[in-house]
Amino acid sequence: MENKPKLKVAAYWGAACGGCSVSMLDVHEKLFDILALADFVFWPIILDTKYHDVEEMPDEHIDVTLFNGAVRNSENEEMAKLLRKKSKILVAYGSCAHMGGIPGLANFFSKEEIFKRVYLENESTFNPDGTVPQPVCEVPEGKLEIPVFYNDVLTLNQVVDVDYYLPGCPPQTERFLEVFMAIATGAELPPKGSVVGARDKSQCDECERKRTDNKLVKKFYRPWEIYDDGESCFLEQGVICMGPSTRSGCGVRCIKGNAPCRGCYGPPPDVIDPGAKMMSAIATMIDAKESDDIKKIIEDIVDPTGTFYRFSLPAAILRKKSIYEEKY
């Protein structure tokens, strides 16, 4: 046991909020168990290792890399590629790396639109000369380079080959631990490409709310529009809940907190596009036959994309808004 070499672990974040890192740090005292089994060779938010240190590592030097966050700019991509090269196992950690996550909703807009909004139109920004970031700019001191901001938000597996996906926004610390321990203790690993730290069955399986087969909806509500009775199925109350097409594993946290599931844990196996699946299902629940009545009911689904693709837009079949938007 003693002479067994420690696991070399790296963690990195791309376009992320930091929640994932926090979810890892939430292990609390379990940290000791981890450190007993593993050395962190690269983890920018807690270690002062530099990119070039990674570059200098031999290929496949790292045993496991936990990559969280989506790929948004050249730096993210570069690092993803680098870490892929240097690691035996690359895990897409959290919704952003898995399906694009919240940042993925930026795929609604082109780079130009985003810059315009953020640097020029933003009410709290004072930018009289209308400066926008340039990849390269000359300053008296010399040439400054910053990463190139891409037009799209990409999932990790859209730029590099990914071994496992650990879904969640953020992944539940327990799930992280389970997975980590499994890898560390050299337990038998599932086939490459599988989702770990989540169950095949979706939320409802764990959900304790009362369900009937009566899923006919006359009006859709957004969570704050109704008094949730706290016990009957959200869908049956007319609140869109992504639970049915979202893996369980989080311990139905949101629902337990009386908020409908938003789908951060991603689709069950065989579902290519959870948003579409859910749309399909929700539509069949509409309790009307005349187009106009149906339209009226649908009006209450204010933002279909935001609702059904909150965490998965970049991974969806239509992973972004058509850049050649059609006027009508």
Distance CA(59)–CA(37), nearest Å, equals 21
**Best CA proximity match to 157, nearest among 88, 77, 86:** 77
Piece of the chain touching other proteins by CB under 8 A; list 14-22, 43-51, 117-125, 198-206:
198-206
328 binds other proteins (CB under 8 A): yes
Annotate each residue in 220-259 with x if it binds other proteins (CB under 8 A) or - if it does not, as one string.
Answer: -------------x-x-------xxx--x-----------
Q: What are the residues whose beta carbons fall under 8 Å from the beta carbon of 124, sequence distance 6 or more?
A: none
Distance CA(143)–CA(121), nearest Å, equals 28
Among 162, 308, 312, 315, which residue interacts with other proteins (rule: CB under 8 A)?
Answer: 308
Among 114, 150, 182, 228, which residue interacts with other proteins (rule: CB under 8 A)?
Answer: 150
Min CB(273)–other proteins separation in Å:
6
126 binds other proteins (CB under 8 A): no
Virtual CA dihedral for 151, 154, 158, 163, nearest 10 degrees? 160
Min CB(122)–other proteins separation in Å:
23
Min CB(213)–other proteins separation in Å:
4
C-beta closer to other proteins: residue 49 or 305: 305
132 binds other proteins (CB under 8 A): no
Element (H, E) at 8: strand 7-13
Min CB(86)–other proteins separation in Å:
24
Between strands 136-139 and 71-73, the pairing is: unpaired
C-beta closer to other proteins: residue 14 or 267: 267
Cα of first residue to Cα of last residue in the chain, in angstroms, is 68
Min CB(198)–other proteins separation in Å:
13
205 binds other proteins (CB under 8 A): yes
Distance CA(243)–CA(169), nearest Å, equals 14
Q: What backbone torsions phi and psi does residue 90 show, to the nearest 5 degrees?
A: -110, 120
Helix 173-184 × helix 30-37 angle, to 10°: 30
Distance CA(68)–CA(277), nearest Å, equals 26
Distance CA(113)–CA(104), nearest Å, equals 15
Min CB(203)–other proteins separation in Å:
7
301 binds other proteins (CB under 8 A): yes
Min CB(289)–other proteins separation in Å:
5
Which chain residues interact with other proteins by CB under 8 A?
Answer: 150-152, 154, 200-205, 211-216, 233, 235, 243-245, 248, 267-273, 276-286, 288-289, 291, 294-295, 298, 301, 303-305, 308, 316-326, 328
